[in-house]
Amino acid sequence: MDYVDYYKVLGLNKDATATDVKKGYRKLARKHHPDINPENAEAEKKFKEINEANEVLSDPEKRKKYDKYGKDWQHADQMEAQQQRQRSQQQQYAGQQGYANNSGGFSGGEDFSDFFSSMFGGQQGRGRQTAFKGQDYSAELKLNLLDAYKTHKQTLTVNGKQVRISIPAGVENLQKIKLPGYGAPGTNNGPAGDLYITFVLANDAKFKRKGKDIYVEEQIDLYTAVLGGEKIVETLNGKVKLKIVAGTQPDSTLRLKEKGFPVYKKEGQFGDFYIKWKVQLPTSLSDDQKELFEKLAKL
């Protein structure tokens, strides 16, 4: 994994304060935001770099590790644990050497590395490089409601590489999935990191989703509400013709069983589809129509 200078990404010096980091991030994030630069791959890449830099430098603990270990900052705990083990082994060796010298078993001129290698099988000797897992990546994938309704494949670009994934029907807004091994390459032959994808579902103007159920509002005229009739309603899976019973009340709800949203990773299971009837009252009545309503009112 190449070294990325997070300070340079945000246009800061290494002695920048937390306030400097916040100001630098906000300024650059506004400039390179995807909404301001639609279909601009370079701006999208820069925006991701800015977010990554801010995530590290705005967190005191992460920043401390980054300042000390550079590109390997995510492995700081492992590296420090390894260093502690090596110090303990060296102390153990020193005790063994002192004992041997006092008892005449070793001379002061014997090679440290030879004895250390014989003690620990050469595995902890000089030049050993510890393998570390690569950095995890995070990405967002925007979907509309119809995208999330059906299982399908999509290709997204993460750090310059294209990743093709299968998206199961019924994913939730902000649901996160993990793709093992799609992150950054490991260090010293360590395993690659993972890729975490967060689904962001856009609101739909017509269909309102609540879990596995779908809610819509449909208008009917007063005469249909009073006398009954038929209405063609669009669902996520096509149009259906519905019978409206006479005397349907305003804001009454009709349920279409199992016509809602698919249940995530449960084949053949769906929520329900709810229709709220909105009765549209007539306006600009003619004299004859007003007379008829007056007669009805008297009855």
Phi, psi of 231 (to 5 degrees): -150, 130
Distance, in Å, from the CA atom of 263 to the CA atom of 171, rounded to the nearest integer, reads 8
Distance, in Å, from the CA atom of 299 to the CA atom of 292, rounded to the nearest integer, reads 11
Contacts of 38 (CB under 8 A, 6+ apart): none
Distance, in Å, from the CA atom of 251 to the CA atom of 154, rounded to the nearest integer, reads 39
pLDDT tens per residue across all 299 residues of the chain: 467 889 999 999 999 999 999 999 999 988 888 778 877 888 888 888 898 889 899 999 889 888 887 777 777 777 777 777 767 766 765 665 555 455 444 444 444 444 344 444 444 444 557 788 888 888 889 999 999 999 999 988 887 788 899 999 999 999 999 999 998 888 888 899 999 999 999 999 999 999 999 999 999 999 999 999 999 999 999 999 999 999 999 999 999 999 999 999 998 999 999 999 999 988 888 888 888 888 888 87
Q: How many CB atoms lie within 10 A of CB 145?
A: 19
Distance, in Å, from the CA atom of 104 to the CA atom of 227, rounded to the nearest integer, reads 113
Distance, in Å, from the CA atom of 33 to the CA atom of 44, rounded to the nearest integer, reads 7
Answer whether 54's CB lies under 8 Å from 30's CB. no
Answer whether 220's CB lies under 8 Å from 280's CB. yes
pTM metric for this prediction: 0.56
Domains recognised in the chain with CATH numbers: 132-202 (2.60.260.20), 208-298 (2.60.260.20)
- Mark out the alpha helices in the chain (DSSP H runs): 6-9, 18-32, 41-57, 60-69, 76-103, 112-120, 145-149, 222-227, 287-298
Distance, in Å, from the CA atom of 6 to the CA atom of 57, rounded to the nearest integer, reads 7
Distance, in Å, from the CA atom of 274 to the CA atom of 255, rounded to the nearest integer, reads 5
Give the torsion sign (CA, 239, 240, 241, 243).
Answer: negative
pLDDT digits (tens, 9 = 90+) for 18-71: 999 999 999 998 888 877 887 788 888 888 889 888 989 999 988 988 888 777
How high is the pLDDT of residue 128? Answer: 59
- Structure token digits, residue 187: 């260090």
